[in-house]
C-alpha cells in the first residue's frame, strides 16, 4: 500500500473522473482538504520519491490513476520549485495529463524566501590614500575639458 | 490521423479540423475505464438527483468538448483549441441577457480554462438544461449549474450558418 493509505482519496477520485481538462484537475486537486492534510504529514522528498515509482506503474484501477495526481498536488502545496521541476520531467507514459499537471504546478510555484547579497564596490588603487577628503577621479580626457571650477578645487 | 498500426489500447489522434481548415489537437483513448469509474458514476448519480443521467458511458474515448464539437469521436482538452473552434467556425457569443435556445452551446470558463461545454437541449423556465459529458464518466442532462463545473462563468454561443 502507498504511504498515503491514511488519507481519504474519494474526493480526489471524483475530480480525476470528471476532469475534462488537465488544469481543472490540477486546481481542484490542490484545493482538496485532504491535500492540505497530507501536506502536514509528508515531506516533499517522500512525495517525490513515491512519484518516481508510481509514474512507471501501469494502473489497473481508478485509485491507481488517482494516487500519482494526489501526490503531485500535495507536492505542489509544498511549493518546492526544484522538486516540482523534477516532477515535470518525469516520464509518465501511463498517466494521461501527468506532464501537463506537473508543468502547471511548476509554473505556479513561487520562491518562498529572498536573500539579499551585498556586493561591495571595488575601490580603484589610485584613490587609496591617507587623505580623508574624497576626491573626484576623472578620466584625463574629461578632466582636461572640465570647467575651471573643477580644476580650482583639485 | 488515426494510426491502425498502433496497439488497440494506444491513444489515438483523429484528423479533425475547423471550418477554416485549422487542425484541432485531440486524443481518443480506447481503453475501457477501470472499475472505479463505474463507482464514480454511481456517486454522481446519487449526488445530482435532479439531473437526467444517460446510460451512455463511462468512456475515455471522448470528453465534454469531444461531445460538443466532435460528435463523440474524440476528446479535446486544450482551451486554445476550443477558442479556435469557436472563432474559426463562426460561433457568435450571445449577449448578456439573451436567453439561449436548444441547439446553442454552453461554455464554462474559469481562469482562462474552458473546463466544460455542452449542448443546450431545453429551457425549464429561465434555466437552460445542458447535455454534457462529465470527464471520463457518463453523459448527463443537467440544469446549467447543477454539475461539477457549476461555479464557472457560463456563456452561450450560437452558430447561425
Residues 6+ apart with CB under 8 A from A27: B110, B111, B113
The DSSP-derived string for A39-78 is HHHS-HHHHHHHHHHHTTS--SSHHHHHHHHHHHHHHHHH
pLDDT per residue of chain A (154 residues) written in tens, 0 to 9: 455 667 889 999 999 999 999 999 999 999 999 999 999 999 999 999 999 999 999 999 999 999 999 999 999 999 989 999 999 999 998 899 999 999 999 999 866 556 667 777 766 555 444 444 444 444 444 444 434 333 333 3
**Helix extents (H) in chain A:** 10-18, 22-31, 33-41, 44-54, 62-78, 81-88, 98-108, 140-144, 148-153
Residue at grid coordinates 572640465: A146
The band of B112, judged by pLDDT with boundaries at 50, 70 and 90, is confident
**Is residue A57 exposed (0-12), middle (13-18) or buried (19+ Cβ within 10 Å)?**
middle
Cα of A15 to nearest chain B Cα, Å: 9
| B67-82: average pLDDT | 96
pLDDT at B116: 98
pLDDT at A119: 72
pLDDT at A145: 43
- Taking CA–CA distances from A11, the nearest residue in chain B reads B40
Residue at grid coordinates 480526489: A12
Mark yes or no for CB contact A24/B11 under 8 Å: no
Mark yes or no for CB contact A14/B110 under 8 Å: no
pLDDT at A135: 46
| From A20, A23, A65, residue closest to B34, measured CB to CB | A65
Residues in A touching B51 (Cβ below 8 Å):
none
- Report residue A139 as a C-alpha cell: 578620466
Rounded to the nearest integer, the mean pLDDT of chain B is: 94
pLDDT above 90 as % of chain B: 83
Report the C-alpha dihedral over residues B98, B131, B142, B82, rounded to 10 degrees.
Answer: -70
d(CA A118, CA B128): 62
Mark yes or no for CB contact B77/A59 under 8 Å: no
The band of B68, judged by pLDDT with boundaries at 50, 70 and 90, is very high
Cα of B108 to nearest chain A Cα, Å: 11
**Is residue A85 exposed (0-12), middle (13-18) or buried (19+ Cβ within 10 Å)?**
middle
ipTM score over 0.90, yes or no: yes
pLDDT at B30: 81
pLDDT at A115: 65
The band of B85, judged by pLDDT with boundaries at 50, 70 and 90, is very high
For an interface test with B, the pick among A17, A58, A69, A103 (most B C-beta atoms closer than 10 Å) comes out as A17
A 10 A CB-CB count for A48 gives 20
Cα of A95 to nearest chain B Cα, Å: 11
Work out whether the CA dihedral B144, B148, B151, B157 comes out positive or negative. Answer: negative
- Taking CA–CA distances from B64, the nearest residue in chain A reads A20
Q: Does residue A131 sit at the B interface (CB-CB below 8 Å)?
A: no
- Taking CA–CA distances from A62, the nearest residue in chain B reads B36
pLDDT at A1: 42
Q: Does residue B32 sit at the A interface (CB-CB below 8 Å)?
A: no
| B105-124: average pLDDT | 96
pLDDT per residue as tens digits for the range B24-67: 999 988 888 888 999 999 999 999 999 999 999 899 999 999 99
Q: Does residue B133 sit at the A interface (CB-CB below 8 Å)?
A: yes
- Taking CA–CA distances from A13, the nearest residue in chain B reads B40
pLDDT at A150: 34
| B103-111: average pLDDT | 96
Determine contact, residues B130/B144, Cβ cutoff 8 Å: yes
- Taking CA–CA distances from B42, the nearest residue in chain A reads A14
Cα B19 versus chain centre, distance: 19
For an interface test with B, the pick among A11, A15, A21, A98 (most B C-beta atoms closer than 10 Å) comes out as A21
Residues in A touching B65 (Cβ below 8 Å):
20
pLDDT at A122: 67
Cα of B117 to nearest chain A Cα, Å: 9
Amino acid at each position: 500500500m502507498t504511504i498515503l493509505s491514511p488519507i481519504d482519496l474519494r474526493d480526489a477520485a471524483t475530480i480525476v473522473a470528471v476532469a475534462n481538462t488537465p488544469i481543472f484537475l490540477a486546481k481542484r486537486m490542490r484545493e482538496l482538504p485532504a491535500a492540505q492534510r497530507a501536506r502536514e504529514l509528508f515531506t516533499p522528498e517522500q512525495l517525490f520519491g513515491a512519484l518516481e515509482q508510481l509514474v512507471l506503474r501501469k494502473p489497473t484501477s481508478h485509485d491507481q490513476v488517482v494516487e500519482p495526481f494526489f501526490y503531485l498536488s500535495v507536492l505542489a502545496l509544498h511549493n518546492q520549485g526544484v522538486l516540482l521541476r523534477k516532477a515535470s520531467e518525469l516520464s509518465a507514459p501511463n498517466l494521461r495529463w501527468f506532464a501537463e499537471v506537473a508543468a502547471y504546478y511548476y509554473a505556479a510555484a513561487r520562491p518562498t524566501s529572498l536573500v539579499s547579497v551585498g556586493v561591495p564596490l571595488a575601490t580603484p588603487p589610485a584613490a587609496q590614500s591617507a587623505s580623508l577628503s574624497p576626491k573626484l577621479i576623472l578620466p584625463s580626457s574629461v578632466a582636461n575639458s572640465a570647467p575651471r571650477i573643477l580644476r580650482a578645487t583639485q | 490521423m488515426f494510426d491502425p498500426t498502433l496497439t488497440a489500447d494506444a491513444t489515438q489522434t483523429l484528423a479533425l479540423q475547423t471550418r477554416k481548415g485549422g487542425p484541432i489537437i485531440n486524443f481518443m483513448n480506447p481503453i475501457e475505464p477501470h472499475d472505479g469509474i463505474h463507482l464514480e458514476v454511481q456517486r454522481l448519480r446519487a449526488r445530482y438527483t435532479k439531473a437526467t443521467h444517460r446510460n451512455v458511458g463511462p468512456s475515455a474515448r471522448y470528453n465534454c468538448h469531444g461531445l460538443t464539437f466532435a460528435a463523440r469521436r474524440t476528446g479535446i482538452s486544450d482551451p486554445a483549441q476550443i477558442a479556435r473552434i469557436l472563432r474559426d467556425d463562426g460561433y457568435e457569443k450571445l449577449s448578456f441577457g439573451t436567453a439561449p435556445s436548444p441547439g446553442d452551446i454552453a461554455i464554462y470558463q474559469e481562469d482562462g480554462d474552458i473546463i466544460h461545454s455542452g449542448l443546450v437541449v431545453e429551457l425549464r423556465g429561465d434555466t437552460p438544461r445542458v447535455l454534457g459529458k462529465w470527464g471520463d464518466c457518463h453523459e448527463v442532462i443537467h440544469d446549467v449549474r447543477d454539475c461539477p463545473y457549476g461555479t464557472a462563468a457560463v456563456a452561450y454561443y450560437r452558430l447561425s450558418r
